Every structure is written in C-alpha cells, then in structure tokens.
Amino acid sequence: MNQFSISQEHPSSPYFSSYYYSMSVSGIQGHLLEVTVVGCNKLKDTEWISRQDPYVILEYGSTTHRTRTCTDGGKTPTFQEKFTFTLIEGLREINVVVWNSNTLTYDDFIGKGKVQLQKVLSQGYDDTPWSLQTKTGRFAGEVRLIMHYGNAKNPVTTYGSSAPPYSAPPHQVPLYATPPPPTSASNYPSPATAYPTPSPYPAYPSYPSTTYPPPAAYPPPPSAYPPPPPPSMYPPATYPAPSPYYPPGPFPGLYPPPPY
C-alpha cells in the first residue's frame, strides 16, 4: 500500500524523484564516477586577521580524496581538481568536508555536507552546488562539484556549463552609415550643373570696358630726383703741357723767370 501511494506522487515531488532514481538505477558495482571539485562559495570565515586557507576532503566508502590547499582562498577558494571513485552498490552519497589549514595549530573545521548521487547515476551528469553546515547545523557555505557517470541509462544529450554561455553581441548597424564607394564612375550620370541663386538687388546696366583708358595711357610718375646734367655742361679741365726738360721747370706764368 505504501509503495502504491509513493508511485501516485506527482513527478515534481521530491519523494517521487528519490523513489524513481533509486528504482531506476541499479548495477553500479565497480563502475567509475568522476568528480571534479570546482571550488567553494560563501564559506564561513574561521580567521580573524589573515585570510583562511581552505581545502576539501571527499569520502566515499573507504576511499578518501583531498584537494590541495588554496592559500589565501578566503570565502571563495578555487580548486579545479578531478578525482575518480569506484562505485559501490547501495551506496549513493559522498561525504564532503571543508577545512582551514593552519601551520602552528590544528586545522579549523569549516563545514560538511552530503552529496547525493541519484541524479548523476541516472542522467550521467550533475553540477549542482551542495550546501555545507557547521557542527551546530548552521549554514557554512557551498561546495561546487561536477560529476560524470558514463554508464547512465538515461544520459542527457547536452551538459549544462558551469558558466553562462557566451554569445557574441548582435551586429549593430549605425544610424548614419557611410554609403559604399561607387564601383565605376561610368555607372552614375554626371551631376547636373547648379544654377546661380538670383540676387535680391536690382541689376545695373553694364558699361563697356573701353570707356576708361588702359593702364598704359597714364603718364609715368615723376621722379623724386632731377636727372643728372649732360657732360657738355661743365668746361673741360685744362692742364699745362709737360716740359720736355728734366727736371721739369716751374709752370710758366706762375713765377718770374730766373735772371741769367
């Protein structure tokens, strides 16, 4: 009767999902499960002064895997480490524990949680973040895992990515685009000659250009200085003829001749 009441639950009910997964998944003994520890988010901070150094431990049956210590990871450490587990029939959960590494003292406990394997065993993929709790049951953050199972009976065709897919922005056409250059000048007719804009003032009659004499008809401008006189205006300078005797005597007429 109890089995019948569970089977009548709505498919969206958690009781239906848990029952469906547990009944549909079987024969997992010895199969491999890949678990990638991506990182943590919103972790409880156990340090007062410096940043905490978290690491993650995964426990499944007798198998334990530990990530490296994310130095100064604080509340959002990143690991990106992959581990492989050999599945055990009837064991469908992984224990996860997050610690803060200390050098001089014992490591600090941050939080723990349980990872359910029903979805990954049924669909072959699961990237759900899992909540962590303190020892008193309070929220201590989240751990992000990506799990792969290759022997799923109902594998999903496409896996959801850990980050939103990137899509290139659509091509934006500018409002005022420059027209492309013409391929050939002969393809377009020559532009029409623009007519001059009529003047708003009345037109005056034009006079012939012969009314005024050409620039060569004007006399040359007077010179600022008078022209030099011709050479004939000044009397030629006269000098006495040279004496045929040596030494030359005095010029005649200037001194009385010496008495002899």
The answer to whether residue 259 scores a pLDDT higher than 80 is no
Residue 94, exposed/middle/buried by CB under 10 A (0-12, 13-18, 19+)?
A: buried
List, for residues 54-99, the tens digit of each pLDDT value.
999 999 999 999 999 999 999 999 999 999 999 999 999 999 999 9
Contacts of 100 (CB under 8 A, 6+ apart): 46, 47, 52, 53, 54, 107, 108, 109, 110
pLDDT over 60 (residue 7): no
Specify the pLDDT at position 162.
46
pLDDT score, position 255: 56
Task: Say which range, 47-61, 68-82, 131-145, 189-203, has the weakest mean pLDDT.
Answer: 189-203
pLDDT at position 3 is 42
**Total-model pTM:** 0.53
Please tell me which residue, 75 or 235, carries the higher pLDDT value. 75
